[in-house]
Structure 1
Amino acid sequence: MFKYWSIKSYGTKLLPTLKRNFGCKEYYTASEVRTTVFQNNFSPKYLPLGYILFLNDISLKETMYIEFPQVNISEYRKDISNYLTSKSYHGYLQVLHH
C-alpha cells in the first residue's frame, strides 16, 4: 500500500528542504509544501503526509478539504503510523502518533 522509501523521505528530507527554501518556521503553507514536493522529486502520492507534518491544524483541515476531500486525516495518519510500526521505523515520522 505505502512505499516505505517514499514515506521515509518525507520524514527525513522534506523538512530540511523546506527550511532551505523557505526558512525555519514552526509551520509552512500548503503552497510551500506542495512546491517543495513537486520541485524536489518527492512522491506526490504522499502529499497529504507532507501537509499533516508541516501545516497548522486550521490550514491542514482547509487544504485537505479542498485538495483531498476523500481523505480522512485521522485515518490517514493512523494508516501511515501503523505502516511505519510494521516496518519498525523509529525516525521523525513518529510525530504522527501525537
Structure 2
Amino acid sequence: MPAAAYTPSLPGLSTADEVDTVINWGLGADSTAYLARILTDPSAYGIDLERTAVLYMATGSEWPETRMLVEEFMLPLLREHGVRFVQ
C-alpha cells in the first residue's frame, strides 16, 4: 500500500482553504513593491485576490518606521482588497 501523501500545513491556513496563491512578504522594499503592484492590478498577473494569502513572520527586528508605514499604507490596502493576511 503506498504511503499517504504528506500535505504540510501553515498556521492560519488549512488544506480546506481555497488558496492558490501565497505571497511571502518580508516588509522589505522589493516584496512591498511587488505586493502593492499585485494588489493594484491583480488581473495583469493572473491572480485572484479572493484565493490569495499573504504570509508574514514578525521577527521583532523590524525598524519602527517600517512597522509604521506598513500599518498606515499596506495593511489598509490588504483589507481594502480582502486579501487574507497570516502573521
Tell me the TM-score normalized by structure 2. Answer: 0.31
- Structure index of larger Rg: 2
Higher helix share: 1
Tell me the TM-score normalized by structure 1. Answer: 0.29
